[in-house]
């Protein structure tokens, strides 16, 4: 544990650096925050904080900035979540109730609100069931032996796949087969369809295997697609002023791998999780911090939301906004998809 004075100095350094992006000196701590100590005393305490790994000095002539350990101590022991105004909450709720029960629209709106509020990048996944389930399927005649399989998921999403059958079938035959398979497998997950003992014609079995593949792919993409907003916000941060750093980050976006680099799986339902700098499991994310949460119903429809920025992220604001937006999405999922 830090002494009270060192904890106060660390808190002031973190808050000042988050606001200014400029290394913080002892004169600023004494003059701006009114700490009851001389600049020389504060300077000595900052040296001790640096020796203990809470602060770092980017240049010998500069002030100090928080290290990852300093940010971690701050968010766990010193930070208070920013209190959101009732007016802001009412405005956000009104926007969502105007949208209605539209899963993708919820995700897009959440990302836009988070990005605007925290002034960094926001990522949100639309709610998915814990296991994708089939509502019904349709088979549409295309050309010769080609058939379009339309899989309607339980929550209404459509997935399509083209199948090549052994022989050509009429649309009437395809429709009868689709109705039969929908009756047999409606409401089931990929695993349940695999385990169900039922006798199928060869072409019906081929369709069933395609349905299983679609459901399995859906299960594997529970955190995709992620809706992004605020790219301009994050690229305007001073940390991205160096051309190579900006290009490296844009490469991650071009590869569409950013959602997979965000440790959404670390998020615990009902709690905001903060991952700082080097705590990120992926090298590409070591210069960033992430504030994430899960939302939805355990075992039912659920998704994830988060804010990403440089380690100089406004953690208090980000934590409050992610927590509130997560609780609102919890409410909406329960209301419309219970």
Q: Are residues 154 and 172 in the same domain?
A: yes
Question: Are residues 199 and 138 part of one domain?
Answer: yes
- Number of folded domains in the chain? 3
Q: Which of 196, 220, 244 is where one domain is finished?
A: 220
CATH assignment at residue 64: 1.10.10.10
Q: Coil, strand, or helix at residue 191?
A: helix
Q: Looking at the structure, do residues 99 and 232 belong to the same domain, yes or no?
A: yes
Task: Based on the fold, state whether residues 124 and 139 are members of the same structural domain.
Answer: no
With cut-offs at 50, 70 and 90, classify the pLDDT of residue 29. Answer: very high
pLDDT at residue 254, rounded to an integer: 62
Tell whether the model's pLDDT for residue 219 goes beyond 80.
Answer: no
CA 66 – CA 86 distance, rounded (Å)? 32
User: Domain end: 189, 220, 251, which one?
Assistant: 220
Residue-level pLDDT at 230: 94
Could you tell me if 174 and 147 are in contact, meaning their C-beta atoms sit under 8 angstroms apart?
Answer: yes
CATH code, domain carrying 312: 3.30.450.40
- The average confidence (pLDDT) of the chain is 89
pLDDT of 338 > 80? The answer is no
Statement to judge: residues 90 and 213 lie in one domain: no
End residue of a domain, out of 58, 78, 98:
78
Domain span at residue 65 reads: 4-78
Determine the pLDDT at residue 82: 92
pLDDT exceeds 80 at position 181: yes
193 in the same domain as 58: no
94, 242: one domain: yes
In this prediction, residues 6-11 reach a mean pLDDT of 96
Give the C-alpha separation, 114 to 302, whole Å: 18
Q: Are strands 134-143 and 146-153 parallel, antiparallel or unpaired?
A: antiparallel
Query: Could you read off the pLDDT of 37-82 as tens digits, one per residue?
Result: 999 999 999 999 999 999 999 887 779 999 999 999 999 999 988 9
Q: Do 72 and 115 belong together in one domain? A: no
H/E stretch holding 20 reads helix 4-20
Query: CATH no. for residue 205?
Result: 3.30.390
Exposure class string for 278-310: b at 16+ Cβ within 10 A, else e: ebbeeeebebbbbbbbbbbbeeebbbbbbbbbb
In whole angstroms, give the CA distance from residue 90 to residue 324: 12
DSSP 222: T
User: Shortest CA distance to 73 belongs to which of 134, 163, 156, 13?
Assistant: 13
Which pLDDT score is estimated for 257? 60
Q: 232 and 211: one domain? A: no
Do 308 and 251 belong together in one domain?
yes
Q: Is the pLDDT of residue 36 over 90?
A: no
Label residue 248 by pLDDT band (50, 70, 90): confident
Same structural domain for residues 266 and 295? Answer: yes
Are residues 318 and 244 part of one domain? yes
């Amino acid at each position: 544990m830090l002494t009270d004075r060192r904890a106060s100095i660390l808190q002031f350094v973190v808050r000042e650096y988050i606001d200014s992006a400029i290394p913080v000196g002892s004169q600023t701590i004494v003059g701006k925050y009114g700490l009851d100590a001389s600049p020389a005393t504060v300077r000595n305490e900052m040296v001790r904080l640096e020796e203990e790994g809470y602060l770092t000095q980017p240049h010998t002539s500069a002030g100090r900035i928080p290290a990852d350990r300093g940010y971690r101590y701050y968010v766990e022991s010193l930070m208070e979540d920013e209190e959101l105004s009732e007016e802001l909450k009412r405005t956000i709720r009104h926007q969502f109730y105007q949208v209605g029960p539209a899963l993708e629209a919820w995700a897009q709106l959440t990302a836009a609100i988070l990005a605007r509020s925290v002034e960094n990048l926001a990522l949100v996944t639309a709610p998915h069931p814990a296991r994708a389930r089939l509502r019904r399927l349709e088979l549409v005649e295309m050309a010769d032996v080609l058939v379009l399989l339309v899989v309607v998921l339980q929550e209404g999403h459509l997935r399509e796949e083209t199948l090549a059958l052994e022989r050509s079938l009429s649309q009437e035959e395809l429709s009868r087969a689709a109705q039969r398979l929908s009756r047999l497998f409606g409401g089931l997950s990929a695993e349940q369809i695999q385990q169900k003992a039922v006798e199928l014609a060869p072409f019906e079995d081929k369709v069933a295997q395609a349905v299983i593949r679609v459901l399995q792919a859906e299960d594997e993409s529970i955190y995709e697609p992620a809706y992004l907003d605020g790219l301009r916000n994050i690229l305007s941060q001073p940390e991205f002023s160096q051309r190579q750093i900006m290009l490296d980050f844009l490469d991650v976006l071009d590869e569409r791998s950013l959602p997979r680099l965000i440790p959404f799986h670390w998020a615990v339902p009902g709690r905001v999780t903060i991952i700082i700098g080097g705590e990120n499991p992926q090298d590409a994310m070591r210069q960033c911090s992430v504030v994430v949460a899960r939302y939805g119903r355990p075992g039912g429809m659920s998704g994830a939301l988060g804010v990403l920025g440089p380690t100089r992220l406004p953690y208090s604001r980000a934590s409050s906004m992610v927590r509130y937006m997560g609780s609102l999405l919890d409410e909406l999922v329960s209301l419309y998809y219970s």
